Amino acid sequence: MRHILVIIVVVLGFQTAGAQLFSKEKIRNLENFDQKRLTWGYYLGFNSYDYKFDYDEVTEDIITETTAGFNVGLVGDVRLNDYFNLRLEPGIVFATRNLTFPNPSLMTETERNREVTSTYIHVPLLVKFSTKRNNNWKPFVVAGASWSSNLSSNSDNPDDNSAGQFRQTANVFNYELGIGIDLYLFYFKFSPSIRGVFAMGDELVRDADPNSPWTGNITSMQSRGVFINFTFQ
């Protein structure tokens, strides 16, 4: 239901944008919006998360199956000059990944497969660089760092994969890179964007057995995500 509502909002937004951005009149909407020192907004969107694995020994890769997740959050934007803005975008991210472990000692499907459901409190601090505004649109790039707190990490769970529990660290630090476009509509600024999110540290909590068929051969496990966000200011 949430995805359907998001799609409806996006379609209506693009229809309105098309009517206002490419009309012959070329009315300049929200003329002084970017001159404000501080602006607020919110975003919603989708994500696709997987893992990057490094191994102690060459082996068959752990298969990561991704599914579409959901993002929602707030935007606080500080104007630094005509081209640079500083942005804080705290939000909540819901993501699900399905892992299949290839170790031949794992005989059943229940042993080989793990569903990893994550709920992140996600707090990025970003620098936004924009080009000069052209009529009612303006491209931009963003880059920065973020902190994520995984509320579903299982990091303190005494059980491990031998009891069916896959565990991750609770706190993750990431770097982020993205591109987007600001569309100036009659009543608000609408900004679709796409962004890559890359964890900077090992997130795996290993099993008690150092020869565990699930975690024994893993040097590091790092999240990688693609976010498609729709921001309204």
pLDDT at site 122: 98
Q: How far apart are CA 119 and CA 131, in angstroms?
A: 34
Nearest to 69 by CA among 91, 45, 98, 94: 94
**Model confidence pLDDT, tens digit, residues 147-172:** 999 999 999 999 999 999 999 999 99
Handedness of CA 116, 117, 123, 126 (dihedral sign): positive
Q: What region, left, alpha or beta, does residue 40 occupy, with left being phi > 0 and alpha being psi -120 to 50 degrees?
A: beta
Per-residue tokens: 140: 């931009």
**Model confidence pLDDT, tens digit, residues 36-55:** 999 999 999 999 999 999 99
Residue 135 DSSP class = T
Residue 57: in which H helix or E strand, if any? none
What is the third-level CATH fold of 39-232? Porin (2.40.160)
pLDDT at residue 16 is higher than 60 = no
Residue 174: in which H helix or E strand, if any? strand 171-184
**Model confidence pLDDT, tens digit, residues 205-223:** 999 999 999 999 999 999 9
Handedness of CA 148, 149, 152, 153 (dihedral sign): positive
Handedness of CA 39, 43, 47, 53 (dihedral sign): positive
Per-residue tokens: 39: 């602006």
